[in-house]
Amino acid sequence: MKLLLGLGSCGIAAGALEVEKVFSKVFQGSSLSLQRVGCNGMCFAEPLLQVITDEGESRYYGRLNADSAQELASDLLKGVLPDAGVLPQEEMQFLQKQTRIALRHCGLIDPENIDSYLAAGGYKALEKAFTLAPEEVIEQVLLAGLRGRGGAGFGAATKWQAARNEQEKIKYIVCNADEGDPGAFMDRSLCEGDPHSVLQGIIIAGYAVGAQEGLLYVRAEYPLAVHRLQIAVRDAEKKGFLGKNILGSGFDFTIRVVQGAGAFVCGEETALLASLEGKRGMPQPKPPYPAACGYKGKPTVINNVETFANVPWILENGPEAFAAMGTSDSKGTKVFALAGKIKRGGLVEVPMGITLGQVVMDIGGGTVSGRPVKAVQIGGPSGGCLPASLLDTPIDYAHIGRTGAIMGSGGLIVIDDSDCIVDMARFFMEFCCHESCGKCPSCRIGTQRMKEMLEKIIAGKGNMEDLEKLNEMALAIRDGSLCGLGSSAPNPVLTTMRYFPEEYEEHIKDKRCTALQCRALLHYAVKEDECAGCGLCADACPSGAISEKENIWQINKEKCNACGLCCQACPNKSIHLCSGEVTQ
């Protein structure tokens, strides 16, 4: 019997270390032991224990705590597999509907133990690669149709070939693990759950391109990922997968883990290179592209974590198997981080071409509140906000692009009807504004001005001309910014204005926020038929907004600042939050 406990950052945050202690205590002196693994993606059910019986049957015990773990451990010690705590069939759909390539080892191996990876067939792809000429490796990646998973979807093999073609002797591979999108955790989970697959991908790329060194740029806010990657590099060196004359191939390659200080813009490749060189992370004009002139002026291939994690699978299983999945322009699978109001939040990997709806509804289970899905924010701050009516959009680069959003690196934030679209647009604009490197005025000042305009609308002080100005400014930022982050920064505003114009108008014309989120547009009101007339609300009100008239208590809309103290004070729950004619 194998017992796998998910100990990614997400599991640890949910209390998996306490659970582990309980198990260790109970199992002390017995033949049973826990295996520490990374997250298998089912973050919604963590702490999560996967039990694999000797017959190969898997059972998942989720949402463990010290008490339930104590019971479960005792049962397991007795050889009993209890039914209590097993995740229901419905929740298992989360795993069943996925196709896992990049995530194939996540949740199944001990990321801090190279032997665990080797036992799962690790580093076989590297051996295979060395049987091929470098050009042949690139050919395999080309045939697979692997596109960069960082966001823009540039062909991986094209970059590799361009760097290979350069005459320079010194070349570099850079792995971009500077995941900065709010709500995205694909790279973190991969680095924490299966660091060796990432390393293997980098080494293979190094061999294909003719590079001598790989640099893994991870944000310092991912300490566990940094820790596990460092262990992985050390172990791979010990085992001879890194260093001189790897596996007797005559190929020398080293990998260095570099921590980034956490600027969103450093996910942009030229800014990332500047940061690697110790400079301020600011994008540079392209060309020259990094493939020709990158780190320290040398040819450099920059790919994302997920891109590298796909490479060993392609070599092991052949490019045809990879290309068989997905659509005509988007091959293979894509990892998504499901977050927001989703019922089953976590990390999923699906074949390209399945619809957004299948991911959100079938795998994610819809919203946690049971309320209707209102929109899906895809692609992070540079992406777009798509309405529920577009849930049947197939997930591939072309289809997502046509909606005005971008595929992005895989953040999927689900929004239900208690979320305000305008406020969400403001949030992303604030993020972009804060993260602007400051180089281009259109991004540095433009995002600030757009943020201010959205704040004005949210405060009920907007006018319809502001929408026009927002649109004009958004287009100017798009056209006037040097890097992709600047030019895509207005996307959340552009897409929400395109798909939810009525919600903007409602804030402006009716001074109403139907989602009851924008505080300046909210007030409380007493439901007369429910009011007992006790007057406790008036005592609680700090702004003197509540007064009595013939035994009926009323809240003055103008004076009410929507603090909610009256609502808490009301013994009858007869005070409700309102905006315009909308009542909670």
Partner 1 sequence: MSEIKILIDGQEVKTQGGQNLLEIILAAGIEMPHLCYQEQLRPYGGCGLCLVEIEGSRKLFRACSTSAEDGMSVITQSLRINSVRRQTLALLLSDHRGDCIAPCKNACPGGNDCQGYIGLIANGRYDEAISLIKETIPLPACIGRICPHPCQEACRRDLLEGTLHISHLKQFAADLDLAKDQPYLPKVETASGKKVAIVGAGPSGLSAAYFLAQKGHQIKIYEAMPKPGGMLRYGIPKYRLPREVLDKEIFLIEELGVEICCSQKLGQDIELEELRRKYDAVYIAVGAWKSSPLGCQGDDLPGILGGIEFLKQLELGCAPALGKKVAVVGGGNTAIDVARSAIRLGSDVTLVYRRSRAEMPAEPWEVNEAEEEGLNLRFLSAVSGVFEANGQAAGLRMQKMRLGAPDESGRPKPEPIPGQIEEQTFDNIIAAVGQQVSGEGLMGLALSPKKTIVADVKDFSTNLEGVFAGGDATNRGPGIAIEAIADGKNAAFVIDGYIRGEQRTFAKPFMVADANFSKDDLKSVPPCPSVPLQYQNPQSRVKDFSEIVLPYSEKEAQAEAFRCLECGCDALYSCRLLPLLRQYEAYEQNPGGSMHRRGLDLSHPLIRRDIDKCILCGLCVRVCSEKVGAMALDFMERGFDSQASPPFMQALAADADCISCGECVVYCPTGALSDRWPLGKTPPLAATQKAIVCPYCSEHCHMVGEYYGDWLLRVLPEGNERACSLGRYGLPLESNAASLDRLDKQEEMTLLRNIQGDLMRFNGEMPEFVGINDLISYLQNLRA
Contact footprint for partner 1 (CB under 8 A): 263, 280, 282, 284-287, 433-442, 444-449, 452-453, 469, 472-473, 475-476, 479-482
CB of 472 to partner 1, least distance (A): 7
Which sign does the torsion angle of CA 366, 368, 372, 377 carry? negative
Q: Which is nearer to partner 1, 133 or 398 (CB)?
A: 398
Q: How wide is the angle at C-alpha 210 spanned by C-alphas 206 and 215, nearest 5°?
A: 40
CB of 489 to partner 1, least distance (A): 11
Burial of 250 (0-12, 13-18, 19+ CB in 10 A): exposed
Task: Yes or no: say if 507 and 470 are a contact pair by the CB < 8 Å rule.
Answer: no
Q: What is the SS3 assignment for 4?
A: strand
Cα–Cα distances in Å, from 192 out to 12, 374, 408? Answer: 12, 32, 21
Q: Which is nearer to partner 1, 250 or 285 (CB)?
A: 285
Q: How wide is the angle at C-alpha 350 spanned by C-alphas 304 and 301, nearest 5°?
A: 15
Write down the number of H helices and E strands in the chain. 25, 18
In DSSP terms, 332 is beta-bridged to none
Q: Which helix (H) or strand (E) holds 524?
A: strand 523-526
CB of 263 to partner 1, least distance (A): 7
Q: Which is nearer to partner 1, 248 or 285 (CB)?
A: 285
Amino acid making up residue 482: L
Measured in whole angstroms, the distance separating CA 60 from the mean position of its chain's CA atoms is 24
Task: Yes or no: say if 176 and 215 are a contact pair by the CB < 8 Å rule.
Answer: no
Q: Which is nearer to partner 1, 146 or 470 (CB)?
A: 470
The secondary structure of residue 355, as a DSSP letter, is B
Q: Which is nearer to partner 1, 274 or 347 (CB)?
A: 274
Which two structure tokens, joined as six digits, stand for 3? 């017992």
CB of 470 to partner 1, least distance (A): 10
Q: Which is nearer to partner 1, 469 or 511 (CB)?
A: 469
CB of 218 to partner 1, least distance (A): 20
Which two structure tokens, joined as six digits, stand for 222? 């991912």
Of 573, 567, 571, the C-alpha closest to 546 is: 567
CB of 349 to partner 1, least distance (A): 32
CB of 168 to partner 1, least distance (A): 19
Task: Yes or no: say if 266 and 179 are a contact pair by the CB < 8 Å rule.
Answer: no
Q: Which is nearer to partner 1, 88 or 287 (CB)?
A: 287
In DSSP terms, 555 is beta-bridged to 546
CB of 401 to partner 1, least distance (A): 13
Cis? peptide before 111, omega within 30° of 0: no
In DSSP terms, 337 is beta-bridged to 347, 411
CB of 484 to partner 1, least distance (A): 11
Task: Yes or no: say if 118 and 279 are a contact pair by the CB < 8 Å rule.
Answer: no
Q: What is the SS3 assignment for 372?
A: coil
CB of 435 to partner 1, least distance (A): 7
- Beta strands 172-177 and 300-304 are parallel
CB of 394 to partner 1, least distance (A): 24
Q: Which is nearer to partner 1, 72 or 473 (CB)?
A: 473
Q: Which is nearer to partner 1, 356 or 489 (CB)?
A: 489
Q: Which is nearer to partner 1, 269 or 419 (CB)?
A: 269
Listed in sequence order, the residues at least 6 apart from 349 whose beta carbon sits closer than 8 Å to its beta carbon are: 41, 98, 99, 100, 101, 102, 103, 333, 334, 335, 336
Burial of 89 (0-12, 13-18, 19+ CB in 10 A): exposed
Q: Which is nearer to partner 1, 285 or 571 (CB)?
A: 285
Measured in whole angstroms, the distance separating CA 291 from the mean position of its chain's CA atoms is 27
Which sign does the torsion angle of CA 221, 224, 227, 230 carry? negative
CB of 432 to partner 1, least distance (A): 9
CB of 439 to partner 1, least distance (A): 5
CB of 165 to partner 1, least distance (A): 18
Q: Which is nearer to partner 1, 38 or 446 (CB)?
A: 446
Q: Which is nearer to partner 1, 444 or 498 (CB)?
A: 444
Query: Treating both helix axes as pointing N-terminal to C-terminal, what angle do 421-435 and 501-509 enclose, rounded to 10 degrees?
Result: 100
> How many Å apart are CA 195 and CA 113, to the nearest integer?
10
Q: Which is nearer to partner 1, 152 or 323 (CB)?
A: 152
Of 158, 115, 133, the C-alpha closest to 251 is: 133
